Every structure is written in C-alpha cells, then in structure tokens.
Chain A
Amino acid sequence: MRVTAALIADTFREAFARKIFWGLFGLSTALILFFLFLMKIDIVEGAAATVSLFGRESPRQWELNRLVRQVQSGIATFLYTWGMFLAVFASSGLIPSVLEAGRIELLLSKPVRRVHILLGRYIGNVLVVGLNISYLVFGVWSILGWKTGLWPKAFLLTIVFTLFIFSVLLAVVVLVGVLFESPALATMITVALMIISPVLAQKNTMERLLSSEWSRDIWRGLYWTLPKVYDVGRMTLDYVFDRTVENYSPLWSSAAFAAVVLAAAVIIFSRRDF
C-alpha cells in the first residue's frame, strides 16, 4: 500500500512537472470564469424573484429548474466529450514515460511487484483527472446554485460517470502503452473507441437494416464487447434531467471491458523483458 501510494504521488509529481495537471486545472478555471461571465452574476435578487439566465426571463420555478438542468446537461456533455478527449490526450504519455529504458530498470530493481508499478500509475492518473473534473463540476454547480437557489444533486453524478468512463478508456491507454510505448497510438485507439461508440449504440436500428444474421452478430458482439461511452453519456444526461434509468448494462459491461483490458496490461507488463 505504501509503495502504491508512493507511485501515485510520483504520477502527480510528473503530472505537475509536465504541466498536465495545471493545463487541465487552468482549462477548468477558464471554463468556470467563462461561465461566471455568462451568468452575469451582479445582483442576486432572491430565490423567488425573476432570474435572468442567458438573456431568458424565467418567472416560474419549474421553468427555472428546467433551464438549470439544461445548462448542467450542456456542461456535462462538454465535459464528457471534449473534456474526456483532453484528459485522454494528456494522460497518454504517463504510461510510456515510466517504461523508458534507464528508468524502468531502476523501478524494477526495487522490491516492488510490477502490478503495483502499473496500478500506481493508473490510479494516480485517474486521481489527477478526477480532481480536475470535480473542480469543474463543483464550480459550475456552485455558481448555478448561487445564482438560482437550485441545487440539483444529480448534476454531481457527472463526476462519477465521467470519471468512470475515463477510467475505462485509461485502461486502453495503459494496455496500448505497455504494448507499444506510443502515446500517439494510445490516444488514437482510445479516441477511435469514443468515436465508434455512438455508431455502435444504434444497435436496434442496425439490426433492422443489416440483412444477414452474421453481420448482426458482429454488430452485437462489438457493441457488447467495447466500452459504451455513448450509452453511459446518455445515462448521465438522464440523471441530470431526473429521468428514470432502467438499463444499467452499459455500466457493468464497460466495467467488465476495463477489468479485462487492465488485467491484460498487468499480465503483459509482468512478463515483459526490459
């Protein structure tokens, strides 16, 4: 545990040194400031008073509530797509860097199991991104709450879902990093998974359109095997809008994907020669 903690701290140190942490933090801060600017918070007139949001006047509480949730869903969507891309891009170098010749031998010469080295990096990376996501979401949530007096907690679940999908995608980054030590390739493959996800999610439509059973099987197979970035994103929005979520399979199937990919990365890393 102590060793893993030291490796997590090292990942933070590297994220700070490579300006990854500050880059994400700066971007989040810029977004929060931009949001503050949009909100034009100059006078808080009380929760019951007419509130102006993005130039729209909303005298009724339920409309205000709807507007707040729309704004929150916009932020969640932005964070889930562009934010995720930036997080993957920023993290892709943190695994190959530790595998550099002259650095990995030194780590391996210590009485540390290889699995700890990899998991220390993985967890450290998740925490670096998790802190930034939390900062952004809490920032936006607080500003909106302050302005409108509405504090829907469902928006905070964006942190959990976004971080969950980031952890799933990071498992791919780790596997590609261990196999090829290429940050560029790790980013390309992970982003490809993000792009293909909404296409694969059209499973029902495609099952009607595809003529042969084997092609439908391939589609279903890909859908169930690969991480469901799109479906989990939809689920996040359902929570934000207070809609009922009935199907949790995108969560567990994506978690299973991450577990298998991460286990493969650990096995390959444990057997690899340096």
Chain B
Amino acid sequence: MPSSEFAIETQGLTKVFRSRLRRREVRAVDGISLAVERGLSFGFLGPNGAGKTTFVKMLLSASRPTAGSALLFGLPAQSPRARRSIGYLPENHRFPTYFTGAGMLDFYAELAGVDRTTRKRRIPELLERVGLAAWGDVRTGKYSKGMLQRLGLAQALMNNPELLLLDEPSDGVDPMGRIHIREILRELEASGVTIFINSHLLSEVEALCREVAIVHRGRVVLRGAVKDLTAGKGYRLVATGVPEALMEEFRRQSVGIEMNGGRPALLFPGREAANRGIDALRAAGCEIESLAPTSCTLEEVFVRTLSSQS
C-alpha cells in the first residue's frame, strides 16, 4: 500500500442519476472534496437521501462517479489494489443464508486475498471478538439482525484492514451489543485503523468519532472535530440566595435562567457577560456553587446545521 497522508481523498466527487429518458436528473453527490487522515475515526452524517451511501459506493467503485476523483491511500478507488486494505460493512447487507458464520467469513476473506492459514487462525479469533464464538457452525439464516451485524463487522475485519468503511454499523444491535461494537472500534482506532462511519445514530458517532462531516443534498455543509463542534461558547452558573431584583435584571439582559431544585442556573452567552454576572452576584452577597462552560450534543449541531440550510 503506497504511503499517503490520507486514507480517503476525494476531489469534486459527483454522482448524477439520470432517468432512462434523461429528462430528470438527481444530483446525489454534488462535488464533495474530502480528505480523511490516516488513523482518524470519521463520522459521515446526513439525513436520508443526503448522498452518504452513494458517496461510500463511489469509494468502493460499486458506483461510477459522474465527475471528480476518489483516492484510497493515494490509489484510484476503481483499482482493485486500492480495495486490498479495506474492510466494508454495507447497510442492509444480505449475506447468503446458505453459509455458516465461519463459512461466510472464509469466503469473503478468500476474495479479499487472505491466505488459507491466516483465515483458519482469524475466523475463530474474530468470531470470539464479536461475541459469536458459539455460532460459527450455525447457518446465517438462523442469526438475528444484531448477530448478522456483528458477523458483518467480523467479515470486514478479516483482512486486517487499514480503512474500515461502516454503513450504519450498529443498526439493529441491542444496547449491550452497541457498547461491544464501540469497544472493538475504539481498539481498532487505537491500533491506527482509519474508521469511516456512515450513520444516523448521532450519539454513536459522537461517542466514537473524532471528526465529522455533515452532508446535505449531496454537499458537505459542515466539517470539524467533534469536540470543537459540540463545545459551547457560553457559561452555566449555579448560585444561591439570588435576590428577585437581580433575577429581574438578568432577565432584562437576556440571560437564560433555568430553575434547578429551587436554585437558579444562569446561562450567560459569553465570557464577558459571565464576568459581569459574577460581579453582580458577588456584590449582592450571593454564593456561587458552580461555573462551567456550556456544551451541546452532536444532535443539536446536526439539527442546527440542517435547519440553517433549509
């Protein structure tokens, strides 16, 4: 695998779907230029129909771009060589039901170029890792959705990938299973694997990814580090013994007030306002119990971003 700073690099990647008579066209992906560094865990977010899956399919060469280019570790995405170091778990996968769990892993690993000795060693290891050690000899037709998802993850890991592309990885998995998958992905990230997650489950992405991009109508509308995007600019102050006159003054200054067990929590929009508020509270003899910067969830960032686009 050639050395490249980026695991994924796209330039103006575009996909236009045209109707048979070419009268109507849908721009599913509209000139996305995105670079994902090696070793990064990256969340690719967007509402339904935003173009996330089409983007991933172009990375895998399952769909041909209308325009633009995609590189995986510096190699053109359409070259089979580029796919040697990739593990992929598609959304709504349909594993043939005639396979046993172990048989399925063996087949897809063989296609991925994993030799027989490695396959023999890796299959029980990975079945154990995803919690399906007892299910290796059972046909996949008997698996629950969550089990299939975990088997799919094991399949994606068979070739020791450097890049893991996961489309809704915890879809249909119970909460304990999700935690388990999250742990596996954290271990992989720690070992330097690049993880690209395409998901609707924002809390999952927030817990797992260091960076995210939000896609809307085929374009990236926001990109950044999760901790920067969710960091608030304001401060939350809890005080006791605040006189009603001062509360009224805060209300006039548009300071947010939440009542928390009879104690007011004051939400200052910025550092200056917080300092002025502290001065006023101290002057009134109030006791300050806590002061902390506010933060928001990725979901709030997501909703705010999409609302501003509509």
* B window 59-78: CB within 8 A of A: 60-64
Q: Is the Cβ of B94 less than 8 Å from the Cβ of A112?
A: no
How far is B57's CA from A184's CA once the two chains are assembled, in angstroms? 29
Is chain A's binding surface mostly helix, strand, loop or mixed? Answer: helix
> Distance in Å from the Cβ of A22 to the closest Cβ of chain B?
13
Instruction: List the B side residues contacting A56 at CB < 8 Å.
Output: none
Give A271's nearest chain B residue, CB to CB: B64
> Distance in Å from the Cβ of A100 to the closest Cβ of chain B?
6
A211 adjacent to chain B (CB < 8 Å) = no
The interface stretch among A12-20, A76-84, A250-258 is A12-20
B226 adjacent to chain A (CB < 8 Å) = no
Q: Is the Cβ of B62 less than 8 Å from the Cβ of A274?
A: yes
Q: Is the Cβ of B108 less than 8 Å from the Cβ of A110?
A: yes
Render A95-113 as a binary contact track against B, CB cut-off 8 A, 1 for contact.
Answer: 0000011111111111111
> Distance in Å from the Cβ of B196 to the closest Cβ of chain A?
13
Interface size class of B (residues with CB under 8 A): 20 to 34
How far is B78's CA from A113's CA once the two chains are assembled, in angstroms? 10
Residues A112 and B111 in contact in the complex (CB < 8 Å), given A103-B95, A106-B90: yes
Instruction: List the A side residues contacting B83 at CB < 8 Å.
Output: 109-111
* Partner among B62, B97, B107 whose Cβ is within 8 Å of the Cβ of A273: B62
How far is B64's CA from A231's CA once the two chains are assembled, in angstroms? 42
> Distance in Å from the Cβ of B28 to the closest Cβ of chain A?
10
Instruction: List the A side residues contacting B96 at CB < 8 Å.
Output: 10, 13-14, 17, 103
How far is B62's CA from A103's CA once the two chains are assembled, in angstroms? 11
Q: Is the Cβ of A17 less than 8 Å from the Cβ of B98?
A: yes
Residues of A bordering B, CB below 8 Å: 2-3, 6-7, 10, 13-14, 16-18, 100-113, 271, 273-274
Q: What are 16 A-B pairs at a CB distance below 8 A? A: A7-B111, A13-B96, A14-B98, A101-B92, A101-B94, A105-B60, A105-B88, A106-B93, A106-B108, A108-B62, A109-B62, A109-B165, A110-B108, A111-B113, A113-B80, A274-B63
